[in-house]
Amino acid sequence: MSDELIRMTAREAVRRLKTKDISPLDLIDAAARRIEQCEGAVNALPTRCLDRARDHARALLRGERREAEGEAGWLGGLPVAIKDLTDVAGVRTTYGSPIFKDHVPTESHPVVERIERKGGIVIAKSNTPEFGSGGSTFNEVFGRTTNPWNTSLTCGGSTGGGAAALASGEVWLAHGSDHAGSLRRPATYCSVVGLRPSPGRVTRGTSNNLYAPLSVQGPMARNVPDVALFLDAMAGFCPRDPQTFDAPAQSFSGAVAAGVRPRRVAWSADFGGTAPMDNETREICAKAALRFQELGATVEEAAPDVGKIADAFMVLRAQSYVVDREEQIAKYPDMFKPDIIWNTKLGLEATPSRIGWAERERAAFYRRVAAFFDTYDLLITPGASTPAFDVTRRMPEKIDGKKVEHYLGGSLITAIPTLMGVPSLAVPCGFDQYGRPVGLQLIGKPRGEAALLAAGAAFERMTGLANLVPIDPRTGTVPPA
């Protein structure tokens, strides 16, 4: 029974919770057993809160905490993982930093409050790089998270723990956040699905960067309809986040079920040569993108002119680090990894003129993006510039034969859509010659999550790749660079 439960989709588990074929306690027990089986190999969920989860489950079984039952996104007692950047009341929350290694918040982040109100039960915190900075998930508090497809490889970052937990069957849904690809790249590396929603779609609540649209909160799952369900649980206006807005009248789950397909699709391997790309990844993704023709779409090679947006991204990201980390670094100068020091220093060294240029570049880019989506329903790129690399490394050494200079060097394929201000979805599309997962990034129109998820679900049904997870963690070797 335990194996059957962990292999269910989130939607099937919620359906069976509603009919009372199973109880939340059954799912917690099944997840706990699976975590015990897999954690030694993947280290995805280093902090568990099973007693707290069971207390929540018993409250639901008594008929309590059900005020949102019947609303879109009702989870009915389904266990979920929350990224360790995000506070859960009474549960150790470290942000991947030794500064906060013993931190236990007394209040939950607003997105956690919303998930729990919708019947989600927090069962664990998922591992993340220090303060979410990095394309590989490791920190001094909990160590490294590995990739279930090959434990010698990285699961990506920064929602790496969530992706690895999903792929290995430890949970059905995983919460995450995304700045330069932190939901999309781990999903690609672990052959699951991650959505970066539109800015304002999901509350960021306690962020000091409340007026900046770079970082967002969002859902990850094993398939697209489950991501839609989790987005329904998260989405909506929050008075603690001034960018948020109301959830749509039609649920995202309903939009997926309606099955509207894109008619005109654009494909770009590298945004006109701006984002470096592994050759085999390029070939696999190009073939996968053409499969949208089987769904009735016209597929053309095209992308909006990115201009100098890659340079602008570095400036704007660095400013977010000044907001978030300047005071902490001054207080704890020896307790931050070099990548964070470097990014914050870039922000402090930027002149007002340079920041002004970056903002103008971003605004001009968005206008070009909006015009592009007057023509195209969907833009497709690879989900990552390389397949998963050595778990002991911060970043790939090279991409297409060119040396990667810093840890963001492999993130442009996902960072550019971040500056578009539109939703983007990572979906599996195959495997490379060494068995490493490869994925597509599907980029939708402004606030176009409904159509984007429907397109992703149609592609997923055609490939059947969602049926491959969960898997038992597998050992392996690191392929040649």
Contact in structure between 197 and 235 (CB atoms under 8 Å): yes
Residue 16 CB contacts under 8 Å (≥ 6 apart), including other chains: 8, 22
3-state SS, 206-225, equals CCCCCCCCCCEEEEEECCHH
Total number of residues shown for the chain = 481
Q: What is the mean pLDDT of residues 158-184?
A: 98
Element (H or E) spanning 301, and its range? strand 298-301
Fold of 2-311+352-468: Amidase signature (AS) enzymes (3.90.1300)
pLDDT at 355 over 90: yes
pLDDT at 120: 99
List Cα–Cα distances, 22 to 8, 15, 16, 279, 289, in angstroms.
12, 9, 6, 47, 39
The count of other CB atoms within 10 Å of the CB of residue 19 is 8
The token duo for 151 is 């434990």
Kindly indicate the confidence band of residue 405, based on its pLDDT and cuts at 50, 70 and 90.
Answer: confident
**Residue found by looking up tokens 């007394």 in the block:** 106
Indicate the average pLDDT of the chain: 97
**Mean pLDDT across the stretch 442-450?**
98
pLDDT at 165 over 80: yes
pLDDT band at 1 (very low <50, low <70, confident <90, very high): low
First-to-final CA distance of the chain: 42
Q: Cα torsion at 200, 205, 209, 212 (round to 10°)?
A: 0
Taking Cα atoms as reference points, which of 464, 425, 421, 223 lies closest to residue 312? 421
What distance in Å separates the CA atoms of residue 1 and residue 307, rounded to the nearest whole number? 55
For the segment 446-464, the average pLDDT, to the nearest whole number, is 98
- Model pLDDT, residue 264: 98
Q: Which residues are catalytic?
A: 83, 158, 182
CA distance 139 to 371: 42
Amino acid found at 214: L
pLDDT > 90 fraction of the chain, expressed in percent and rounded: 96
User: What is the per-residue pLDDT for 406?
Assistant: 81
Mean pLDDT of 223-240: 98
Query: Looking at residue 409, what is its pLDDT?
Result: 81
**Sequence ranges of the domains in the chain:** 2-311+352-468
Separation between Cα atoms, residue 82 and residue 429, nearest integer Å: 26
What is the crossing angle of helices 412-420 and 309-331, to 10°?
100
Question: Given this model, what pLDDT does residue 47 score?
Answer: 98
* Mean predicted confidence (pLDDT) in 114-142: 98
Q: What is the pLDDT of residues 94-118, one digit of tens each?
A: 999 999 999 999 999 999 999 999 9
Q: Are 247 and 203 in contact (CB under 8 A)?
A: no
pLDDT digits (tens, 9 = 90+) for 251-290: 999 999 999 999 999 999 999 999 999 999 999 999 999 9
Residue 408 has pLDDT above 90, yes or no: no
- Give the pLDDT band of residue 481 (cuts 50, 70, 90): confident
The whole-number pLDDT of residue 344 equals 97
Residue 357 confidence (pLDDT): 98
| pTM for this predicted structure | 0.98
Confidence band of 2 (pLDDT split at 50, 70, 90): low
What number is the average pLDDT over the span 71-97?
Answer: 98
